[in-house]
Amino acid sequence: MMKKKLFPILLILCMMTGLLSAGCGNHNRSGDISLYYLNLEGTSIVQSYYNPEDAGELEGIDLYLHALADDPDEDDIMKTIPDSVKVLDYSLDNYFLTLNFSEQYYDIPKAEEVLVRAAIVRTLTQLDDVVYVSFNVEGVALTNARGEVVGSMNADSFVENPDAAINTSQEKTLTLYFSSSDGTYLVPETQTVYYSSNESLEKLIVKKLIAGPSTSGAVATIPATTHIITVSLMDGVCYVNLDANFMDQNQEISEEVVLYSIVDSLTELDEVKKVQLSINGDTSGMVRYIYKLSDMYERNESFIQTVTDAEEETQD
């Protein structure tokens, strides 16, 4: 097993004269190494490049971790490891790399943390001797939103779902929840959809909610002008990042109905246990007045219109 200290003493002198020996990873452009950073909004990861000469005589894991904590040359991306977060040490044993972070790692916003994790894992698994990466914080295994240990990850743990059409398609029956005409209940609507197999069902559901219902008397809960920035799923939590047009909500629809229209529609999928919303990547605000964007919401069926409710509404 290899175990090394990185921070606060970051620079570890290499005993070899060559900076990029075998096992230092993919060199994709003029000797530069390939890295994954975050965009400035903290909503996606971006592949970029780093010149090893900027890291002195570091190599291998040390070089890559130093690069991820360094300011990138491009103005439209930001460093993957924030200044406040330190890598205390790491160990490598039979292709399994364990990183141990300082407690400030938990200060990274939840939606952004998933991207940070993905960027670090995708970067480090480019090294020939790193196949899996696990995260500790102050020596304790990192846990997800449900309190479960995240465990070892590889590049395949983080799957992107681009919108580009491909030749194959899939059929799926979705249950979506829209607002009742008076804005106080959720009205379920079943839709059979055909979708590109490289588009996530989570994003498709949000698209369908924005498009609105076909059921008579049902009302869309998300403004039609709303744009989806990202929809991602990690550790059972679906992170839905919308633009500011989401806030132009129909005030005749209750805040609970707006929120749980999204939450209950997404949690129809077995793999989605919780939902967190953000506006332009920001989780500091509110859905409207009561519900915090920073909270993660579980399924709540108390607002779903029952058959009895529907019959009483018809009689009225």
Specify whether the CB–CB gap between 207 and 228 falls below 8 A: yes
Instruction: Determine how many CB atoms are found less than 10 A away from the CB of residue 139.
Output: 9
Q: What is the pLDDT of residue 103?
A: 96
Q: For residues 197 and 218, give the distance between their C-alpha atoms in angstroms, rounded to a whole number.
A: 29
Confidence (pTM): 0.53
Q: What is the pLDDT of residue 92?
A: 94
Residue ranges of the alpha helices (H) in 2-90? Answer: 60-68
Using the structure block, give the residue that is written with the tokens 């939450």. Answer: 263
Handedness of CA 207, 210, 211, 214 (dihedral sign): positive
- The DSSP string of 15-81 is SSS-SS-TTS----BTTBEEEEEEETTSSSEEEEEE-GGGGTT--HHHHHHHHHTSPPSSTTEE-SS
Q: What is the pLDDT of residue 193?
A: 76
- Walking along the chain (316 residues) 10 residues at a time, the average pLDDT comes out as 49 36 43 85 84 83 94 89 96 92 92 87 92 93 78 69 42 90 95 69 93 90 93 89 94 97 97 93 92 95 74 51
Q: What is the pLDDT of residue 309?
A: 53
Using the structure block, give the residue that is written with the tokens 């040490």. Answer: 89
Residue 314: C-alpha distances to residues 12, 18, 180, 181, 213 (Å): 74, 79, 12, 11, 19
Q: What is the pLDDT of residue 23?
A: 39
Q: What is the pLDDT of residue 307?
A: 52
Q: What is the pLDDT of residue 1?
A: 57
For residue 156, the one-letter residue type is: D
Q: What is the pLDDT of residue 18?
A: 36
Which residues make Cβ contacts (< 8 Å) with residue 216, sequence separation at least 6? none
Residue ranges of the alpha helices (H) in 69-173? Answer: 110-124
Going by DSSP bridges, is the β-strand pair 132-137/77-78 parallel, antiparallel, or unpaired?
unpaired
